[in-house]
Amino acid sequence: MWTQCWLDYNNENKNVSSYEDYFTTLFVDGFKKDEVITTASDELSLASKGMFGRAIDVDIALPDKGIVIKKSEERTLGKEGYRIYCEGSRAYIEALTPEAVIYGTFRFLALVRTGALNGDTDITEIPENPIRMLDHWDNMDGSIERGYSGNSFFFENNDVIINDRTRDYARLIASLGINAVAINNVNVKDAATDLVNPRFIDKVRQMSDIFACFGVKLFLSLNYAMPIEYEPQSADPLDEKVIAWWKNKMKEVYASVPKLGGFLVKADSEGRPGPFTYGRTQADGANMLAEAIRPYGGIIIWRCFVYNCQQDWRDLTTDRAKAGYDYFHSLDGEFDDNVILQIKNGPMDFQPREPVSPLFGGMKNTNQMLEVQIAQEYTGHQIDVCYLIPWFKQILEFETYMNDDPESDTTVAGIVSGRARNVSLGGMVAVTNTGNDENWTGNDLAAANLYGFGRLSWNTKLGAEEIAREWIRLTFSDADGETEDIITRILMGSWPTYEKYTAPLGIGWMVKPHDHYGPSVDGYEYDRWGTYHRADWEGIGVERGPEGTGYSLQYNSPNKEMFGDPKTTPEELLLFFHKTPYKHILKSGKTVIQHIYDTHFEGYEEAKKMQAAWDSLEGRIDERAFKETRRRFELQVANAREWCDIVNSYFYRKCGIADEKGRKIY
């Protein structure tokens, strides 16, 4: 059996007893019979059984006490907003649509379980982002690309699995307000081809129906090159035969899966064919599919992860960081209105720290979505603890200076939510971190990233610590205040610590190639992926200012000038933007090389402190979670040690400058 993460109602603490009266009766007011409303009422009953040992009675008239799910008349709530309030002995969940009732119901239960509901409660919450999505990189054979928590729970032995876990997963993500999920790997053509073919289409429909009961739309990753293998023998987006083939395919797919949200596409990327293969633009490719899917209300989510992955390390002018902007920004305004560009947070690839992609703020008339990765590919494989929400908040708050209008919110959050331009398509997506492990996310603490991403994509103003504490209260519901503080401190310190013991000052990479866990300073230096640190005996960093690759020029002013000059570049990104001498003095008064030594020793010490803090929780939290996480902390400390040793001795040997503090570096 698997855990229910933050939705386990069976291990509640005393907090909830004061709410017992609400859980006597449920009255649904104004909504017709509907499968989504049924899901909400089942959830309330399940919670009641877990918390108070009995189901809720469903009443046909307004009860004196109980929960009322009410159809609202308040148009401003939109299709996903809700209002929760208490009146006497009744608690109300009001919304315009059944989907919003689901979100409101889960929120109501979270308020109850964290003791945050009271007689004065009257909250209205409307999601900030239209699309709040999770992308799975699950393959038909059951493996998961960059999966660190077991195998897929969607696929096994080249078949689709539908079981209780499917429903439990839909429930988990709906509780966060997630409203879209792509279940198959965008990198592998097999699943993308199979799932839209007759053999599996019925199972895809069943899956989509299960998700729909929770207000979540199913998406599939699509094989853009698919018609090459069929009669058109081409994927040229302007070829009539290809266009007709896709129209027909979409008709067939939507006849079987009418609730499908649309498709996610990776084309012209890392070996996958795309419109470039035929001398066409990315907009030609995306729009062709968008037209085919338009009659069914579907959308095409088009990834911008397009770059030359066959670079020669001797070529000092090509810069992978520039590729996304170079390929897409001149197409601004050319994408159909049912296309969304899915843009990775940084210009490279999910490193622990990167500047925000200049495509945000570089396209004024294109739907955009922010893509982050909670699968910890470069942030510790869900062995090392790395709570990413503080990092995501910095990305969302980044000011792009997209236009001069002081009224418009041109931060990344403003752009992707559609606020900056008043459009209704956009949002946030995470490459997700779940698998068929008992606890869903491998490391129990990695569930905080899933929880946090969901909550943040609903409301980007929530604080990273606030979210962490909420997750802890719901997950370790018997935890006392001190336990909560200890886990909060571990989570909040974990990303800075991880950054310290891995690659310094924004340079990134230095990981073991392909696997991406553990250090290998030169692992990617002479490889074809365009990921360099350019360290020599004098200094380290890639010169991306105006005199270098010119990457900094892709930003709007004043970011352009700020990143273009080493004096004004934020130091945490210094080596990303500038080749810097080891003896350069940072604001702290330390040289770059001393900073590298110090942060690596500190990172290792901090990892040990986190481990000790976790050990102090023995007997105070669920035993399974305690032991499993303790095992991972042992590995994390060993990893931090290895990084510290290898990075420090690499740079010591490169530059010959000794550690001022005289510590042993080999």
Active site residues: 270, 349, 377
How many CB atoms sit inside 10 A of residue 122's CB?
A: 11
The interface mask with ligand GCU, positions 187-206, x = CB under 6 A, is x-------------------
Which tokens go with 272? 């996958």
Is the peptide bond between 558 and the residue preceding it cis, with omega within 30 degrees of 0? yes
**Alpha-carbon 85 to chain mean position:** 31
Tokens 């129990």 found at: 444
Residues whose CB is less than 8 angstroms from the CB of residue 485 and which lie 6 or more positions away in sequence, other chains included:
none
Nearer to ligand GCU, 272 or 473 (CB): 272
The one-character DSSP state at 124 is E
Alpha carbon distance 61, 27 (integer Å): 7
Query: Which residues pair with residue 91 across a beta bridge?
Result: 67, 86
Residue type, 425: L
Which tokens go with 503? 């690659």
Decide if residue 138 touches ligand GCU (CB under 6 A). Answer: no
Among 146, 171, 249, 544, binds ligand GCU (CB under 6 A): 146
The one-character DSSP state at 329 is G
Among 12, 59, 145, 484, binds ligand GCU (CB under 6 A): 145
Distances in Å between the Cα of 304 and the Cα atoms of 89, 187, 340, 341, 545 are 52, 13, 10, 6, 23
The interface mask with ligand GCU, positions 313-352, x = CB under 6 A, is ------------------------------------x---
Nearer to ligand GCU, 266 or 500 (CB): 266
Nearer to ligand GCU, 292 or 301 (CB): 301
Nearer to ligand GCU, 271 or 619 (CB): 271
Decide if residue 305 touches ligand GCU (CB under 6 A). Answer: yes
Helix (H, G, I), strand (E, B) or coil at 388: coil
Nearer to ligand GCU, 152 or 475 (CB): 152
Residue 12, Cβ density class (10 Å: 0-12 exposed, 13-18 middle, ≥19 buried):
middle
Query: Which residues pair with residue 138 across a beta bridge?
Result: 144
Question: Which H or E element spans position 92?
Answer: strand 90-95
Nearer to ligand GCU, 357 or 580 (CB): 357
Tokens 């606020």 found at: 419
Is residue 561 within 8 A of residue 528, CB to CB? The reply is: no
Which tokens go with 366? 């294109």
CB closest to ligand GCU, residue no: 187
Nearest approach in angstroms of CB 24 to ligand GCU is: 50
Nearest approach in angstroms of CB 445 to ligand GCU is: 23
In the region spanning residues 561 to 600, those forming contacts with ligand GCU, defined by CB under 6 A, are: none
Four-CA torsion 365, 367, 373, 374, nearest 10 degrees: 130
* Size of the residue set binding ligand GCU (CB under 6 A): 8
Which tokens go with 370? 């922010």
Nearest approach in angstroms of CB 516 to ligand GCU is: 7
Nearest approach in angstroms of CB 185 to ligand GCU is: 8
Nearer to ligand GCU, 83 or 266 (CB): 266
Nearer to ligand GCU, 86 or 225 (CB): 225
Nearest approach in angstroms of CB 266 to ligand GCU is: 6
Nearest approach in angstroms of CB 430 to ligand GCU is: 12
Decide if residue 421 touches ligand GCU (CB under 6 A). Answer: no
**Which of 363, 369, 365, 296 is closest to 336 using CA atoms?**
365
Decide if residue 270 touches ligand GCU (CB under 6 A). Answer: yes
Nearest approach in angstroms of CB 526 to ligand GCU is: 18
Decide if residue 219 touches ligand GCU (CB under 6 A). Answer: no
Strand order in the sheet with 82-87: 57-59, 25-29, 66-71, 90-95, 82-87, 122-125
Nearest approach in angstroms of CB 338 to ligand GCU is: 22
In the region spanning residues 91 to 130, those forming contacts with ligand GCU, defined by CB under 6 A, are: none
Distances in Å between the Cα of 579 and the Cα atoms of 371, 534, 595 are 28, 8, 16
Nearer to ligand GCU, 6 or 305 (CB): 305
Nearest approach in angstroms of CB 349 to ligand GCU is: 5
Applying CB under 6 A, the residues found at the interface with ligand GCU are 145-146, 187, 266, 270, 305, 349, 377
